[in-house]
Structure 1
Amino acid sequence: MPDAPLTPPLPPEVSPRPSACPGLWRIVAARDGGICRIKLPGGLLLADQADAVADAAERFAGGVIEATNRANLQIRGIGDNHRGLVEHLLAAGLGPRDAAGDDVRNLMLSPLAGLDPAMLFDTRPLAGQILDMLESTPRFHKLSAKFAVQLDGGEALAMLEHAHDLWLSAMQREGRIWLRFGLASSLSNGLALGAVPLEQGLALVRAVLERFLDLATPEQSRMRQLLQVCPVEHFLEGLPLQIDTSSLQRPATTSAWLGVLPQRQGVALGVAPPLGRLTPAMLRGAAHVARQWGDGSLRLTPWQSLVLTNLNPAHLEPAREHLAALGLLCHNEHPLARVVACTGASGCAKGQADTKADAMTLAALLHHGAPGSVHLSACPRSCAMAHTAPATLLARAPGRYDLYLRDARQPGFGRLRGADLTPEEAGAMLDLPTEHLDD
């Protein structure tokens, strides 16, 4: 008698609950076809899995692969064979055979988790326990597909600016590792509400999620919405843990994410697809380099880039030359590294401008600025960036943008610096050292 399937067969286009957020099982329609989002465990993508994604993009879609700002991948332009695509990805081990269990796998780690010289502990074992708990606990499947957790081990390469519903961050006290935590905030601006010893980390995550589901209404799908009506003190009172409230804030020590990255042993190399878009050839080529000169894996990052880990320093230059020949950006000084752009009007019905094409025009004019310092958004939803960039160009019509500069005193994108600008006019204003932008 044949073994029964792990779960009853479920049409890939049907999810146990409605959501506009793409997933592995949930193919969401867009102007350029369907979108499938592949949620990677801590951003980890094995070389063979990278090949499978490249194959899927060619066989079932239009060949467009995107790195997301949550360290995941998505395939765009998907045709009618949704089941074939999903089964192909599941066969490569790129998700569970349960759509609800896949939806909640929103756990961000450092791209150098377990390898960063500055880390206080290796977050990967605890991250695995958290992901197993999220996947296997039916009650947690009620969480929004956007509900997100961050686990920070004190790495130098860490995303500090993305807001999370719950974050945990390592600190050392009297020879022990503790986890300070915060709610509905980011590591850079969030208040640490307390701390627990590292060995209680999994219990803390479970307790916070249970408490959220106990208190939140169906309309309150995110922690920030609940805390608008529920005092944080009341939320904390219901946690069945003893919490130390004398915790300290995390030092802001994020390092660059492109180029050579230090490891405890060997080196890593950060590379980025232009404007977050990978071709199948790029992804296959990066997988080949990872097999030949690295550890056979890639790490996706929240900066829409890739990290190849455990490279032999003797092979660094040939690896970099091979990746650059594929069209990947390998250093921070490249103009395209300074620009982030959403899909734009060519792929999204809500887009007011072709941001990808305009970003290419703009990048050619920029000679100053840090990586990711200019964000082109085709509508106010800001899909390409989960935090506010130093400069944002918000589309108002094809080829026309309003320019905002980040200002902590003002909500949203910040202070309006110029209105109804072409990419060329915006480039002339932005191609100045940072200290002169406010002049």
Structure 2
Amino acid sequence: MLRIVPARDGGLCRVKLPGGRLTAVQARAIAAASQRWASGVLELTNRANLQLRGVRPDGANALVAALQAAGLGPSDPAADDVRNVLLSPAAGRDPQQRRDVRPLAAELLALLEGDRRLHGLSPKFALQLDGGEALARLDHAHDVWLSAHAEGYLLGLAGTPLDAPLGLIPTGRERATVAALLHRFLDLASAEQSRMRQLLAQLPVAELLAGLDLLPAPATPRSPAATARRLGSHPQRQAGLCWVGAQPALGRLPTMTLAAVAELAEHHGNGELHLTPWQGLLLPDVPVGTAPDLLAALGALDLVTDPAAPLARLIACTGSQGCAKGQADTKGDALRLAERLPAGVEVHLSGCPRSCALAGQAPHTLLAVAPGRYDLFVRDATQPGPGWRRATQLSLDEAAAWLARSPSDA
């Protein structure tokens, strides 16, 4: 947040939110700052954060000051880049959860901010805390992940909670163990090994974990996630309450819409907005009886609340309109593709091979190679990048026709 990054459409201000949470007051402050000193365009990210686009050079300092005054940003400026801890937007409320991970998330964020040596971690180095929730992002690899267990937390590296854990951290030793692990990573990693997967490609995992006093990992497979619960209304573990999820088209949120959602959060919920790692919003603690009215109000703001809707099944990066690396206007093309997207098909449109909008493989990926032209890839875990290249140089009409074919069609 403190470092404005240049982009094709002006400066880019990335705001990292602790646990993806912000208050209605903070949401209004973000909307006002974007309207006054930037383009008025906000983007929600796959890390449950947001970014303000089109920051004007003469307004950058004032924008950052306004965000800090709203209680956003790190306690130590040097810690801004390393505050990367992902948890479920329904943490503490999901009926399926094994444990409320929010207290541990606060401890780990305090560790990352307060331990100056950890400020040397890569800005992309990230941790995931999994409480066993049904609403969880389990396809996004993290450098370190912890998954709740009756006796503590299962620990894994360079993967997801669906992977086999490497050991069990006993209850009460989570913060100390993570701190020791991160320091050991910094001790052993070279300058070129900024991510856990890079270190483990050269170092036996047992050497990295030596001295951490982990217990053997029990064989307790992680229950599948139910990501459709990111949209619509769903009951919480608290009786009589539900959360209501919505998402803006392709993760792009006008400032006036954010301000309106903040008002709805105060009127229908507890005054909080939770960002989701699917580029959406979740309003918690809504009385079940008022959920239909809230869903109608969100729909009137052009937000998607049905997981079957075409725009709920499309992801697109900023594209050539805002990024110099983008080969096509991916967001504009995605809106056009939505009109002809076959039912049940999920597609990621990427303007370049970096795949900024999605960390893993989508069922289908359209990779831009020229304006309005895409190569089509199908998910294949044995292939690097987006998967198996199925067709090349497709127009949007041709891509829609390919996507309508069954998997057995050649």
- Provide the rounded CA distance (Å) in 2 between the counterparts of 1:214 and 1:198: 26
The superposition leaves residues 240-265 of structure 1 with CA deviations (integer Å, 9 ceiling, x where unpaired) of 32432444332223341111122112
Query: Structure 2 counterpart of 1:130, which letter?
Result: L
Alignment of 1:244 onto 2:216: yes
**Kindly tell me: are residues 341 and 49 of structure 1, through their superposed partners in 2, closer, same or farther at Cα, counting changes over 3 Å?**
same
- Which residue does the alignment assign to 1:298? 273
| Aligned equivalents of 2:245, 2:122: Cα separation in 1 | 31
Task: Tell me which of 406, 411, 416 is aligned to 2:379.
Answer: 406
> Superposition pairs for residues 263-342 of structure 1, below 5 Å?
263-265=236-238, 266-342=241-317
Distance 1:158 1:383 in 2: 20
Matched, 1:183 2:160: no
Cα shift at 1:419 = 0.8
Q: In structure 2, do the counterparts of structure 1 residues 305 and 267 end up closer, same or farther at CA, with 3 Å as the change threshold?
A: same
Distance across 2 between alignment mates of 1:325 and 1:77: 26
Aligned to 1:98: 76
Question: Partners in 2 of 1:199 and 1:249 — Cα distance?
Answer: 23
2:77 maps to a residue whose letter is A
Letter in 2 for 1:187: P
* Distance in 2 between residues matched to 1:74 and 1:104, nearest whole Å: 16
Segments ≥4 residues shifted beyond 3 Å: 245-249
Instruction: Provide the secondary structure at the position in 1 that maps to 2:326.
Output: coil
- Partner of 1:89 in structure 2? 67
1:345 match: secondary structure:
helix
**Partner Cα distance (1:181, 1:438) in 2:** 39
Task: Report the alpha carbon displacement of residue 199 of structure 1 after superposing the two structures with TM.
Answer: 1.7
For the pair 1:204 / 2:177, whether they are aligned, the reply is yes
Inter-partner Cα distance in structure 2 for 1:164 and 1:255: 18
What SS does the corresponding residue of 2:285 show, helix, strand or coil? strand
**Residue identity opposite 2:303 in structure 1:** L
Q: CA RMSD in A?
A: 1.2
Q: Does residue 322 of structure 2 align to residue 347 of structure 1?
A: yes
Unaligned runs of 5+ in 2: none
Aligned residues: 405
**Post-superposition shift, 1:381?**
0.1
Tell me what 1:437 maps to.
407
Distance 1:350 1:212 in 2: 32
Shift of 1:298: 0.6
Which TM-score applies when normalising by structure 2? 0.96
Match of 2:189 in 1: 216
* Structure 2 CA distance for aligned equivalents of residues 97 and 153 of structure 1: 26
Contact persistence 2:379–2:387 (CA under 8 A): yes
Q: Which amino acid aligns with 1:437?
A: P
CA distance in 2, matches of 1:246, 1:154: 15
Q: Could you tell me how far 1:313 is from its partner in structure 2?
A: 1.4
List per-residue Cα deviations over 1:189-213 (Å, max 9, x = no partner). x331111223221122112101101
> Whole-Å Cα distance in 2 between the matches of residues 98 and 247 of structure 1?
40
Question: C-alpha separation between the residues in 2 aligned to 1:41 and 1:55?
Answer: 21
List per-residue Cα deviations over 1:209-255 (Å, max 9, x = no partner).
Answer: 01101101122111111111111121112x33243244433222334
- 2:109 matched residue in structure 1: 131
Cα offset for 1:438?
Answer: 3.9
Higher mean C-alpha displacement, 120-129 vs 94-103: 94-103
Residue 235 of structure 1 aligns with an amino acid whose one-letter code is: L
Does structure 1 conserve the Cα–Cα contact (< 8 Å) formed by 2:235 and 2:288?
no
CA contact (8 A) 2:142 2:158 kept: yes
How many percent of aligned residue pairs carry the same amino acid? Answer: 53
**Is the 1:365–1:431 Cα contact (8 Å) retained in structure 2?**
no
> Which stretches in structure 1 are left out of the alignment for 5+ residues?
1-23
Other-structure match for 1:225: 198
**Counterparts of 1:437 and 1:280, CA distance in 2:** 40
Contact kept, 8 Å, 1:192 with 1:248, in 2: the verdict is no
3-state secondary structure, aligned to 1:199 = coil
Deviation digits for residues 262-286 of structure 1 (CA, Å, limit 9, x no counterpart): 2112111110010000001110111
Deviation at 1:97, TM superposition (A): 4.6
Alignment deviations for residues 58-116 of structure 1 (CA, whole Å, 9 cap, x no partner): 01100110000000010000001211011100000111253221211100000001000
In 2, Cα distance between the equivalents of 1:197 and 1:356?
A: 46
Shift, 1:178, TM fit: 2.2
Instruction: Report the AA paired with residue 34 of structure 1.
Output: G
